[in-house]
Structure 1
C-alpha cells in the first residue's frame, strides 16, 4: 500500500481513550459470491463468527494427523517458526503450508478459500498460517485479545478486512481449552495502553501481555456481549472476524486440542508500516506481499 494511510484505530497509547466504532463492514461479499448462504452472512455480520461443520471431511483427518506428527517430530529449535511452550513442548508452527503439501491443499479447498473470498469480497492472500498444538495436561491458553489490534499495531494492517479460519483437528470439548468469543465485540475497537517493546513477538507468541485490554474493559465487554464457547468434532471450521475479542483457557485434561489456523487478508488491504511498533514483525508472522493465494505457488 502506497502513501501514508490514516490511523483510524490508534492503540498502544500512554493513556486510555474511548472505544472506537468500527468503520468497515464485517462481510464484504454477497450470497452470490460464494458458498455461504444469506443466513450465514447475517450471522457472521451480527456475531462476528460462524462455525462450519465438515470443513475438513473425515478422510482428511488421518493424513493431517500424520502430517502434524511429522512436523512436530522434526521441529528445529533454531527455526524461529517453531514456538515452544515454556516447558519445551511445541505450541505453534508457522508457515506450515510452505513445507507441507497437505496443509497447502487444505487452504485451497472449496470449503475454505471461496469462503474467505466471499467474506472479504475480493481476492485474498495468507497474512499468516500456523498449526496450533495444545497437548493434554501442558497446553497453555491464549489471553483475551483482538487479532486486529496486533496486526494493526505491529504489522501495519490498515483496515479491518481480514478473517481467520480455525479448523479443528481434534475434538473441541468445553474443558480442553476450546476457543471463547464475545459475540458482537468485533463492531468496536478497544485501544490498549502501553508501548510495544522491541521484538515483542519473541515473547507475545507464548504469553501476550502487550496489546490486551485491561480487566475493567474486559468485564464491561463480557457483561455487554456475553461469552460463547465454540466446541465441535474434528473437521469443524470456525470463521471469525479479525477484531472479535477471543481467547482460550489452558488444557489440563488428557485430551489434546490441535487446529490449523489460517488468516486471510484482502489483497486490497496490503500492509504498510506498523502503526505502533518500531519495525514490522517477520514475514512468517505477517506476509508483506499481497499476492492472491494459489496452491501452486504455496509449495513451489
Structure 2
C-alpha cells in the first residue's frame, strides 16, 4: 500500500491555459492497495493499473436491478424542475440526477455493497468518501453523449482535487450495447495528463453538465492520444460495474437507438486527497457536484 504524499499547495497538473502545452506524465500510482486489502486479486489490480479501468460483471444482481429501475422511474416522476441537481437535455428529458443517494435510500445502500465499497478502498488504499454521485439516463432516440474528457481535469481545475487518487464506479442498470451510447475508453491514457486550453468561465458547471466545452482536449490532442492508446468500448449486461481511474480519457456517443441506457455513477475519493481551493476556477462548484466536507459522505473507518 503506497504512502506517497504530495504538497497540495503546488499545482502539479496545470490546465485551462492560454496556449497548448505538452502532456504531463502521471506522478502518482493508479492502484494504491494490494491484493490482501480487498476483493480484487493481483490480476485484476494489474489490469486496472495497466489499462486504467476494470470491468466487474454481476456487481448488482437481478433482485437489485428491478428495485433500482423502479427507483429511477420514481426519480423521473418526482423530479422538481427547480432543483439544480436535476440536469435536463435541451429537449427537456432528464440527463442526470446528482446526489441520488439523498433522494433514495436504496441507491444509498448500493454504495455500501460488498461488491462496491471494498473495491474502492482497495484501489485507493485508504478510507474513502463520495466525492460525487449521480444517475445518468440516456433514453432511446434522445440521449446525447459525453465528449472525450478526463474527469480529473475538471475535478482538479474546478474542485481543487490535488492528486489522482480517486476512482469512478459506473454500474449499468440497462444493457450496454455497442450501439446505444456505451462508454468508450482510451486504455492506458490515465498515465498522461493532457492540459486543456481556455480559462474557466464563471459558473461553468451551469452549461458544462449539459455540454462540456471547457476542460476538453483539442482534436489534435485527441487524435494523438487515440493513435497512442487506441479505443475500447465497454459493453455488457445490466448489473456490470465499470471501474475507471479519475484521469482516463473517456466519452460516449449519443443514443439514436430505441434501447435506453442508464447507470449509477459513483466517484470515490481518498480521505487523504481532500479538496483544496480550485486550481483554475474563481470559486468551488456546488457541494452536490463536489463534496467538500468528506464527513458527510464518509463510511465507517477501516479496521487496522
- What secondary structure does 2:294 align onto? coil
Q: How far has the Cα of 1:208 moved from its partner?
A: 0.3
Kindly report which structure 2 residues correspond to 1:215-294, keeping only aligned pairs within 5 A, or say none. Answer: 215-291=219-295, 293-294=298-299
Count of aligned pairs: 293
Is 1:57 aligned to 2:75, yes or no? no
Asked if structure 1 preserves the Cα contact closer than 8 Å seen for 2:128 and 2:299, the reply is no
| Aligned equivalents of 1:192, 1:27: Cα separation in 2 | 25
- CA RMSD, Structure 1 to Structure 2 (Å): 1.0
- What secondary structure does 1:219 align onto? helix
| Aligned equivalents of 1:110, 1:162: Cα separation in 2 | 19
User: Structure 1, residues 190-234: CA drift from partner, whole Å, max 9, x if none?
Assistant: 000100000000000000000000001100100010000000000
Structure 1 spans left out of the alignment, 5+ residues: 296-300
Structure 2 spans left out of the alignment, 5+ residues: 1-6
Q: Which residue of 1 aligns with 2:190?
A: 186
Q: Which residue of 2 aligns with 1:98?
A: 102
Asked if structure 1 preserves the Cα contact closer than 8 Å seen for 2:88 and 2:210, the reply is yes
| Aligned equivalents of 1:82, 1:146: Cα separation in 2 | 22
| Aligned equivalents of 2:103, 2:214: Cα separation in 1 | 31
The TM-score, its normalising length taken from structure 2, stands at: 0.95
- What secondary structure does 2:277 align onto? coil
Kindly tell me: are residues 4 and 167 of structure 1, through their superposed partners in 2, closer, same or farther at Cα, counting changes over 3 Å?
A: closer
- What secondary structure does 2:263 align onto? strand
Is 1:69 aligned to 2:80, yes or no? no
Is 1:20 aligned to 2:24, yes or no? yes
Deviating 4+ runs (over 4 angstroms): none
Q: Which residue of 2 aligns with 1:118?
A: 122
| Aligned equivalents of 1:228, 1:150: Cα separation in 2 | 22
